Amino acid sequence: MTLKAAVLGHPIGHSKSPALHRAAYGRLGIDVEYSAIDVTVPELPAFMASVRDQPGWCGLSVTMPLKTAMVDEVDEVRGVACILGVVNTVVFEADGTSVRRVGYNTDVAGIVNAVRHAGVVSAPSAVILGGGGTAAAAIAALKDLGAPSADVYVRDVGRAAEARAASQGVGLPVRILPLSGAAAAMAAADVVISTLPPRGADALADELAGLGARTPGVLLDVAYDPWPSRIASVWQDGGGTVVPGLEMLLYQAVEQVRFFSGLGDDVTAEVIDVMCDAVGAPRRVF
């Protein structure tokens, strides 16, 4: 039987998840039909109810703006997703004669592996731009990387509930600060993770360029379309290392493929290489 999987979000036409997943299942020799489905937050409950009764589903990738709303649409939440209240992965698990929909978060692993691949050492000084669901994953990732704390810069310091909850949940102290003061702090940090939407950091990039400061650290910009982003270009001009959001997308997708295929660690370097090829990313050196 052909299995079914999909990435959900709104808008979703730009997503590279189908290319990543299709390449992986092709290399693994597994018959999985993976699609992109446009779903808004109000439409999510009806969609999740509809797939419950459809045979053959093995997994869902979940992107913005659905990651928080998905918590209420699954039967169980596991791992760091329980702490963050953010689900980017749904796995359909057989439970006797029924199927359970289980929520996970692979964004944390995606961030950790992306910045480690760029050479980030343990215990970095860290800045996060944005305070939503991906910022929550970034806080958990920085905890895994040994960061002692992080400064989180947001447009509205009164609307960073997800970041505050993540800080408390994983035990990483954070300061919530206005985005207007981020430029100098970014330049001094070992690692900066921008979770802002495409073009959302353009004004900050101009401010950083105006400072003329060196940027010796690593910047992960989770937005990957258009690329390079303005903030990525300025960062690179300042001497820093840029990690495109495509790297995070790759590594979180690897974890999803492990879940959806049921093969776990048998999803090896050869599979990751064909996933890289599918989206024009450099092959890994293992």
| Count of CB atoms situated within 10 Å of the CB of 219 | 28
Residues in the chain: 286
Token representation of residue 205: 């990039």
The single-letter code of the amino acid at 152 is: V
| Count of CB atoms situated within 10 Å of the CB of 9 | 23
Q: How far apart are the first and last CA of the chain?
A: 34
Task: Give dist(CA 163, CA 279) in Å, integer.
Answer: 30
Token representation of residue 76: 């169980």
Task: Give dist(CA 148, CA 159) in Å, integer.
Answer: 23
DSSP letter (8 states) at residue 123: S
**Greatest Cα-to-Cα distance within the chain, rounded to the nearest angstrom:** 63
DSSP letter (8 states) at residue 51: H
- Residue 177 parent element (H or E): strand 174-178
Determine the 3-state secondary structure of 104 from DSSP. strand
**How many Cα atoms are found within 13 Å in the side-chain-facing hemisphere of 200?**
17
Task: Give dist(CA 36, CA 60) in Å, integer.
Answer: 10
Determine the 3-state secondary structure of 153 from DSSP. strand
**Catalytic residue annotation:** 67
C-alpha of 215 from chain center: 23
DSSP letter (8 states) at residue 54: S
